[in-house]
């Protein structure tokens, strides 16, 4: 698999290259670019790589400018120190969005996600990627016109299943992984941290109750007043762990629930 890294900090670029090759020895980093201008020129003059690893803040502008100057035919994993760009990132051919400092496990998940999409849409005996089909599949999971996600592409065995946010009761974290719980009590791994999900979910539909859970209002079955002004929630489908809202967030939660 041929990968291009777009990163303006030389040390960060070298570290990312080493991390990528540590994750998968079959990946070849064919070049490292450090600016919007050099990236546009390279993409115009060369065959598309299988994947782009792209920082957002570059020395001569934001990498989003690249997409307005040249047709980017490759899927992208964005890397950045700032989470305010998440919504914009998901409007283009983004596989994932990684916050710096990049965690190797998060990078592995992103590369695995790309490989699963590539397997799903491999079209020849050599399993070459049909980029048009892949980009179409990616865009099916992108933000709605209101800039919030309407569906997710989730792994179930050897299949990828589109799941609408309307079918999701809550998101939760467990043992360093994030999961979706649907109304029919199915659980799926989702390739985003709760912090990343908080950026791309409609805040009218989902509330970050605590560090472990993001929920929708219909999932709240009962609310109990608890010690020290905290709230204890009973959710449906039920959770393995008790769900509490801190005193600091209790007022915000009550307003969100329409009190």
Q: Per residue of the chain (259 residues), what is the pLDDT tens digit?
A: 999 999 999 999 999 999 999 998 899 999 999 999 999 999 999 999 999 999 988 999 888 889 888 988 888 998 887 665 555 555 556 777 788 888 888 898 888 888 877 766 554 333 334 445 444 554 454 444 446 788 998 988 778 889 999 999 999 999 889 999 999 999 999 988 888 888 788 888 999 999 899 999 999 999 999 888 899 999 999 999 999 999 888 988 999 998 6
Q: What crossing angle do the helices spanning 10-23 and 104-120 adopt, rounded to 10°?
A: 60
| Dihedral sign (CA 259, 198, 72, 116) | negative
Distance of CA 230 to the CA centre of its chain: 31
CA distances from 175 to 39, 73, 238 (A): 38, 36, 18
Q: Does domain 2-142 have CATH number 3.40.50.2300?
A: yes
pLDDT of residue 85: 58
Q: What crossing angle do the helices spanning 131-140 and 104-120 adopt, rounded to 10°?
A: 120
DSSP 97-128: EEESSPPHHHHHHHHHHHHHHHHHTB-STT--
Architecture of 155-256 per CATH?
Beta Barrel (2.40)
pLDDT of residue 92: 59
Q: Where in the chain is the domain with CATH 3.40.50.2300?
A: 2-142
pLDDT of residue 58: 92
CB 18 within 8 A of CB 32: no
Q: Where in the chain is the domain with CATH 2.40.50.1020?
A: 155-256
């Amino acid at each position: 698999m041929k990968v291009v890294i777009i990163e303006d900090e030389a040390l960060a670029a070298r570290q990312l290259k080493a991390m990528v090759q540590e994750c998968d020895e079959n990946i070849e980093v064919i070049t490292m670019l450090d600016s919007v201008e050099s990236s546009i020129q390279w993409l115009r003059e060369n065959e598309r790589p299988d994947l782009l690893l792209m920082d957002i803040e570059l020395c001569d502008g934001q990498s989003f400018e690249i997409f307005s100057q040249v047709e980017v035919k490759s899927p992208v994993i964005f890397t950045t120190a700032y989470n305010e760009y998440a919504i914009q990132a998901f409007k283009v051919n983004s596989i994932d969005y990684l916050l710096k400092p990049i965690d190797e496990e998060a990078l592995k998940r992103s590369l695995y996600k790309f490989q699963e999409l590539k397997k799903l849409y491999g079209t020849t005996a050599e399993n070459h990627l049909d980029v048009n089909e892949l980009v179409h599949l990616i865009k099916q999971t992108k933000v709605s016109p209101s800039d919030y996600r309407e569906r997710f592409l989730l792994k179930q065995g050897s299949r990828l299943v589109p799941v609408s946010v309307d079918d999701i009761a809550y998101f939760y974290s467990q043992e360093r992984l994030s999961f979706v719980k649907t109304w029919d009590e199915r659980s799926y791994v989702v390739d985003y941290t709760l912090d990343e999900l908080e950026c791309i979910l409609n805040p009218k539909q989902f509330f970050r109750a605590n560090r472990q859970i993001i929920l929708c209002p219909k999932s709240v079955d009962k609310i109990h007043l608890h010690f020290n002004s905290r709230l204890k929630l009973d959710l449906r489908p039920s959770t393995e762990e008790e769900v509490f809202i801190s005193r600091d967030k209790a007022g915000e939660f009550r307003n969100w629930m329409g009190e």
